[in-house]
Amino acid sequence: MEKIIIVRYSEIHLKGKNRGYFERALILNMEKSLKGLKHEIRRQSGRYIVEAFEEDEIDNILSKLKKVFGIHSLSIALRVKTDLDEISEAAKRVCIESGNFKVSAHRADKTFALNSMQLNAEIGGRLLSCFNNLTVDVHNPDFIVNIDVRENGTTLVFNEFIKGAGGMPVGTSGRGMLLISGGIDSPVAGHMIAKRGMQIDCIHFHSYPYTNMQARDKVIELAKVLSKYTCGTKLNIISVTHIQEEIHKKCNGEYMVTLLRRFMMRIAENIAKKCGAQCLITGESLGQVASQTVEGMTSSNSVIKDLPVLRPLCGFDKDEIIERSRQIGAYEISIQPYEDCCTVFLPKHPIIKPSISSVMTEEAKLDIESLLKEALSTLEVIDL
Amino acid sequence: MIYLDNAATTKPDGECLKTAEKYLLSEFYNPSALYKGGYGLQCELRETRKNIISLIADFENFELVFTSCGTEADNQALFCGGKRGNVVTTEGEHSAVFSAVSELKQRGIEVRFAKLNSDGSVNIENLLSLIDGKTSLVSVIHVNNETGAINPVNEIAQKVKTKNKFTLFHSDGVQAFGKIPFRLTKDIDLYSVSAHKIGGVKGVGALFKRKNLVIKPFIFGGGQELGLRSGTENIFGIKNFEFAAVKKYKNIKAYYEKALKLNALFREKLDKTLFTEISNINCSPYILCVSAEGLRGETILHDCDDSGLIIGTGSACSSNEKKRYSRVVQACGYNEIVADGILRISFSCENTENEIIEAADILNKKVALRKEKMA
């Protein structure tokens, strides 16, 4: 009798001839996330079995697999020889000793002597005689003892379906560049797009010495959280200090954020193309702050030459975003008090609905090309 | 690299480290152990307490409780002394006291804050007016850690006792001990100090406690430190603290004079058009607080750091807090713009005049440049 983990995939089963492509990506991602831990992954009729691991690492393995996109559910199961006594022994181990239950047997091996119904009755009877506080309730059981008789002479016994991360395996939907600040929104946006199978690289803009090392470390920590879901990421860090100083010096202060965002988009697109990213991703949510109006988005979008900009949070309320941030484990990091670059030269009254012509007038006061070139020269890449 | 953040921590004194080294390597026994090695250390510790107390007080009147830091000593004083009625403190306290009284407030004790003068010293009249028959404890910082303002704690303690003789008087002496020449009088019940601000290592503090004053233990266990703070004694750290403190007090007046000179030189070299001086000449010469008004102190800190000068912005212990503006400087009556530009330059007698001249030059240049960029 040994403990194994059953991994069931989500949407991949809807795929036709290219299913193999998605499956290979999923296995690769599982292997990446379990790197350094002893284990083996085997495919078994439409699901995967993780086995040969150290039993005291099981929680660690589960928590890593729960972050791999493409997995619908997981179960910790006992694997025994297909033998009634052994199956019954395993059932006793996974059974909770009191409450309502039912046995749900599934027989892939049709040569096994008992059919599913008979197996349900037999194992159920044995459990009842073993535990006095158990009662059978096939309609509303507190828990289910699942018995899966496989074709290879083994049977899997388990009582729980653990929800997986869902979505598609990362890497099957191309590569995107996430603009990540130290806030709550951008990691959530990255997570949502990664869930649909996109490999994510990140870009962060800082304004040292107006911001500090803690702010930078905070972003690294956020990117690390994201990297657990994306099986690694590259964090590109760029200084926009001089750009902010120049805007501050030469332009109308109300346009600080609008103009800065245009620079960020230009830089992000430049680096995205070099990294092979096919789109930009931002954490903008419509109307959340002054720069995230449709006019603000139009202004920042208009400097993008080729790539689409995905804004998965546009329709979300702040509390919905916070909820997701908590779920992915980023919230506690995001709310650390260190400021990111946007707040340093923040005007009291930022322009809310910038018109492209007024933005262009302000921007004309700057030497865009040389500022871009200088900012790009500050690039630092961290592999996470 | 010029280090002018000595109020945050000082460079450990190499000589004292060397002398104390044997308490790590050979005299490593548990001072509570009964064999000779352990007992010997216990006897040494007794002497150490006596030596440290004698530096600033009459050994007959005080006892010493070693702690893990100044913050712990402050917490012990407040949580074990401020038990009922109301507690009076000042708006100029270090977070170690400020956060502890906030917790006392949560536990149902009324906390009253005395106003500050513009240099960060407490307004004594205002403080005394807050004390009544129900005041169980008064806590007044001796030397303000941000502005360097010196509170005459002996005088204040005496006035407090005249108003209510049952009120306990505590002072956080972390920035005063080993720096400002003074003696503790019997009116002071509790006094906190720290080792790493005077050349000792981090991880050691102490609470002076008036003899016969009964307070509750802070940490329960094996009964070390008069039963008030259990835990195996950090013999290396404590001996190192003793050596560092004794060394400081041997020349305390000369060091004080030197700090005065360095401080005056720095002020002289500082471009007056760029800064608002918060500290005045009555403040501790070891601390100089100025504001690069209109700029953010932290930006200048990084600028200087990149040019080989280390200075602070207000309290290093508060830089983890969410609030951006210095609570203490605002309590001195300055607005947010001044409070945002706070820089704390803190000296050590090891600094040289050349360092001071260079440092002032770097600071002037950096602030001028940044002001130009931000104009």
CB A269 within 8 A of CB A307: yes
Cβ B375–A337 below 8 Å, yes or no? Answer: no
| Residues of B carrying an active site annotation | 317
Cβ A210–B299 below 8 Å, yes or no? Answer: yes
Confirm or reject contact between A338 and chain B (CB < 8 A).
no
Does residue A337 share a domain with residue A258? yes
* Domains identified in chain A, total number: 2
Confirm or reject contact between B301 and chain A (CB < 8 A).
yes
Backbone angles phi, psi at A330, to 5 degrees: -105, -20
How far off is chain B from A213, nearest CA to CA, in Å?
A: 10
> How high is the pLDDT of residue B318?
52
Residue A239 inside a domain? The answer is: yes
Q: What is the average per-residue pLDDT within B183-195?
A: 96
Identify the CA nearest to B151 among candidates B186, B127, B178: B127
Does residue A120 share a domain with residue A13? yes
Confidence of residue B83 (pLDDT cuts 50, 70, 90): confident
CB A354 within 8 A of CB A252: no
Does residue A237 share a domain with residue A330? yes
- Residues A298, A269: Cα–Cα separation, whole Å: 16
Under CATH, to which class is B14-249 assigned?
A: alpha beta
CB B37 within 8 A of CB B26: no
Q: A249 contacts in B (CB within 8 Å)?
A: 373, 375
Q: What is the average per-residue pLDDT within B118-140?
A: 95
Does residue A204 share a domain with residue A80? no
Q: What is the average per-residue pLDDT within B242-252?
A: 96
> How high is the pLDDT of residue B321?
52
- Residues A359, B179: Cα–Cα separation, whole Å: 57
Does residue A186 share a domain with residue A159? no
Q: What percent of chain B lies above the pLDDT cut of 70?
A: 97
Q: From B372, which residue of chain A is nearest by alpha-carbon distance?
A: A249
Q: What is the average per-residue pLDDT within B130-147?
A: 96
Q: What is the average per-residue pLDDT within B143-169?
A: 96
Residue type, B227: G
Q: Decide which of B318 and B233 is more confident.
A: B233
- Residues B233, B244: Cα–Cα separation, whole Å: 18
Identify the CA nearest to B294 among candidates A345, A300, A365, A96: A345
Residue A170 inside a domain? The answer is: no
Q: What residues are paired with B63 via a beta bridge?
A: B209
pLDDT at B268 exceeding the cut of 70: yes
Identify the CA nearest to A1 among candidates A102, A101, A83: A83
Fold assignment, B2-10+252-374: Aspartate Aminotransferase, domain 1 (3.90.1150)
> How high is the pLDDT of residue B358?
97
Does residue A185 share a domain with residue A85? no
> How high is the pLDDT of residue B177?
97
Of B296, B305, B321, the CB nearest to A210: B296
Secondary structure string (H, E, C) spanning B45-61: HHHHHHHHHHHHCCCCC
- Give the strand pairing for B135-139 and B110-114: unpaired
CB count within 10 Å of CB A92 equals 16
ipTM of this complex: 0.75
B-facing residues of A in 67-126 (CB < 8 A) are none
Does residue A133 share a domain with residue A65? yes
Does residue A75 share a domain with residue A219? no
Domain limits for position A275? 175-383
- Give the strand pairing for A134-136 and A143-149: unpaired
Does residue A141 share a domain with residue A240? no
> How high is the pLDDT of residue B167?
95
CB B53 within 8 A of CB B208: yes
B-facing residues of A in 214-273 (CB < 8 A) are 245, 248-249
Confirm or reject contact between B302 and chain A (CB < 8 A).
yes
Low-confidence ranges of chain A (pLDDT < 70): 340-344
Identify the CA nearest to A83 among candidates A133, A54, A122: A122
> How high is the pLDDT of residue A344?
66
Residue A36 makes CB contacts below 8 A (sequence gap 6+) with: none
pLDDT at B30 exceeding the cut of 70: yes
Instruction: Give the CATH number for residue A95.
Output: 3.30.2130.30
Q: For B207-217, write each residue's pLDDT tens digit.
A: 999 999 988 89
Does residue A158 share a domain with residue A265? no
SS3 A144: strand
What is the pTM (predicted TM-score) of this model? Answer: 0.84
Q: What is the average per-residue pLDDT within B115-132?
A: 95
Q: B300 contacts in A (CB within 8 Å)?
A: 209
Of B306, B321, B374, the CB nearest to A248: B374
> How high is the pLDDT of residue A340?
67
Instruction: Give the CATH number for residue A283.
Output: 3.40.50.620
| Omega cis (within 30) before A209 | yes
Does residue A197 share a domain with residue A53? no
pLDDT at B87 exceeding the cut of 90: yes
Of B298, B306, B374, the CB nearest to A212: B298
Residue A299 inside a domain? The answer is: yes
Does residue A76 share a domain with residue A7? yes
Map out the domains of chain B as residue ranges: 2-10+252-374, 14-249
> Chain A to chain B, count of Cβ pairs less than 8 Å apart?
21
Q: What is the average per-residue pLDDT within B169-179?
A: 97
CB B217 within 8 A of CB B190: no
Residue A250 inside a domain? The answer is: yes
